[in-house]
Amino acid sequence: MKKIYISISLLSFIVLAIIGCEDYNKLTAPEVNFGSADFTRFVAIGNSITAGYQSGTIYQSGQMYAYPNLIAQQVGTKFEMPYVSDPGLGGRMEIQSLSPFTIYYNTASGTPLNLNYTAPYNGLGVPGALLYDVLYATSSTTCASYVFGGTPNPYFDLILRNSALNIGTQLQQTLAQNPTFITLWIGNNDVLGYATSGGTSPAAPTDATTFGQLYGAIGQYLAQSGAKVVVANIPNVAAIPFFTTVGPQMVQLGVPVLVYFKSDNQTVAVASQNDLLTSKVLVTLKGSAYAPYIGKPTSKFYTDNGIPVPPNVIPDSAFGVNPYNPWPNALILDADEIVVANNAVTAFNTSIAGVAQNFGFGLVDVNSIFNSLRAADFTGGTSINGITFKTTYVSGGLFSLDGVHPSSQAHGIVANEFIKVINTKYGASIPLIDVGKIPGSIYFYSRISYKQGYPIIPNEVFKHLLF
């Protein structure tokens, strides 16, 4: 009897001991096939988009989702970037309230996190960079904006760090890394500056011939490096929310016509409601600050921007309605200016396609992709990974609060377009990114709350305060 008792309990314990162990099958993630592409040393050249710039600045939680960084994660390669802790380098746009829609300008500043990295960054996107800069800019005072316009661009110092590295331009820093794979998305600013300034500053996009020559020169260098190269072209600037938001809003709020200055600041023209609704003229997002004054006597635009009131303007007359106080040229892109911008985009894209063809680069046709996203706005939007995207401001999900730069999720869409080209061109099978996994990137301004009697003030508020 005792024997049976012992054997039953012994058996039970053995059984329990065996099944009690961690016995689950090993799982392995599928291997990614890169085809003939090699991502060992991957460098991305570009401007603010490549830098992951959103809502007016660069900040880590946006830079993390910059399209080249997403591509690097997807292929599992190292990608060093000039991260800046949130909320970025100062001036991030945040939502103060949704109704009424109010934007807060967050003056708090984060700190650069990767300044001491001893080699050039893999992410060589410099906000504000023009095509010229890739070849010639080494610092804030050798970039095109300073050389031709007297405005230094400190991003060149922050990202190229030539005072420490002394390696040179975006191009030189790229080649110095002996790259195996390069993406190049540059040229947007060669037309965007013209367009966002309402066709005033600069007064014309980069000359198409110059653009072709510069782009060809860059292409030559990249081809000689032996790396695989994928380039992207320039999307139609006139369809971004920076231009498509305020005009239709004016009509909705009952503005009957908009009387505006043409580019000579002399001629006065009239935009009908239909012109405003159908993008025949484009009122810039900067104009949202002055739209509430339409029909009222004001010289706010001139005083705000430190511009003397022009002699042909009478501030006491109705703003934007009376021909003696027209809507300023700097806040509108009229039909003639739109043609100039569009022609520039077309010419640039012809150059880019030609260079890609010449050197056997992959080409991401961002322009076509963006145009089809824009076209789908009028049929309910485009569904990607189950999310409906439109090109509309904020609600469309594709753009950050500045109305120009893509949101984190839009970076996912862009990265996928690069991956599709890489897969086709190099026989790779890199999986696409699930855009739904990328978090929203439009920030709310956290307001100070007095709920418990004491003010709750976030610690970082005092970081930059001097006593």
Partner 1 sequence: MKKYLYIILLILGLFPGIILAGGFQINEHGAKAMGLGGAFTAIANDASAIYWNAAGLTQLKGTNFLLGTALIAPNSKFRGVTPAVDVNYMKSEVFFPSHFFLTHSFSPSFAAGIGITTPFGLGTEWSNGWIGRYLALRTQLTTFWVPITFAYSPVENLSFGAGFVYSFADVLITRNNSQAPFAGDAYVELEGNDHFAYGYTFSLMYKPLKELSIGASFRSEVDYEFEGTAIATGSEQLQEIGALPSGDVTAKLTTPMNIVGGVAIQVIPQLRLSADFQWIGWSSYDSLNVNFVDPETDDAASGRLYKDTYIIRFGAQYNVSDELSILGGIYFDKMPVDPQYVSPTLPDSDRLGLSIGADAKLFDRFGIVGSFLFIRASELTVTNSEEIYTVGDSPFNGTYNSSANLLSLSLYYHLQ
Binding stretches for partner 1 (CB under 8 A):
1, 4-5, 8-9, 12-13, 15-16, 19-20, 24-25, 27-30, 61, 95-99, 384-387, 394-397, 407, 409, 431, 434-437, 439-447
What is the Cα–Cα distance from 428 to 32, expressed in whole angstroms?
A: 8
Q: Which residues contact 391 (CB under 8 A, 6 or more apart)?
A: 239, 240, 241, 244, 370, 373, 374, 377, 398, 399
- Retrieve residue 281's tokens: 């003229």
CA angle in degrees (0–180, nearest 5) for 400-280-195: 50
Nearer to partner 1, 94 or 337 (CB): 94
116 vs 452 by CB, closer to partner 1: 452
Question: Cβ(247)–Cβ(265) under 8 Å?
Answer: no
Q: Position 322: which residue type? A: N
Tell me whether residue 336 or residue 434 sits nearer to partner 1 (CB atom).
Answer: 434
We find the least distance from the C-beta atom of residue 449 to partner 1, in angstroms, to be 8
Q: Which is nearer to partner 1, 297 or 436 (CB)?
A: 436
Contact 58, 89 (CB under 8 A): yes
Which one, 226 or 439, has the nearer CB to partner 1?
439
Of 189, 196, 203, 202, whose CA–CA distance to 149 is shortest? 202
- In the bound state with partner 1, the residue whose beta carbon lies nearer, of 297 and 439, is 439
The CA distance from 92 to 102, in Å, is 14
Closest CA to 249 of 100, 441, 376, 390: 100
The minimum distance between CB 286 and partner 1, in angstroms, equals 22
Taking the least distance from each CB to partner 1, the nearer of 97 and 278 is: 97
Whole-angstrom distance, CA of residue 95 vs CA of residue 113: 25
Query: Minimum CB separation from partner 1 for residue 439, in Å?
Result: 6
Q: How far is the CB of 10 from partner 1 (least distance, A)?
A: 11
DSSP per-residue letters across 19-44: HHS-------PPPPP-TT---SSEEE
Half-sphere exposure in the Cβ direction for 423 (13 Å, CA): 15
- Residue 281 or 401: the one with the smaller Cβ distance to partner 1 is 401
Place of tokens 């390696």: 167
User: How far apart are CB 12 and partner 1 at their closest, in Å?
Assistant: 4
Residue 437 CB, shortest distance to partner 1, in Å, is 5
Gap between the Cα atoms of 286 and 404, Å rounded: 12
Closest approach of Cβ 62 to partner 1, in Å? Answer: 9
Q: What is the smallest separation between the CB atom of 115 and partner 1, expressed in angstroms?
A: 25
Q: Tell me how far, at minimum, the Cβ of 103 lies from partner 1, in Å.
A: 11
Question: Cβ closer to partner 1: 127 or 412?
Answer: 412
Q: What sections of 121-230 are H helices per DSSP? A: 131-136, 144-147, 155-160, 170-175, 189-196, 208-224
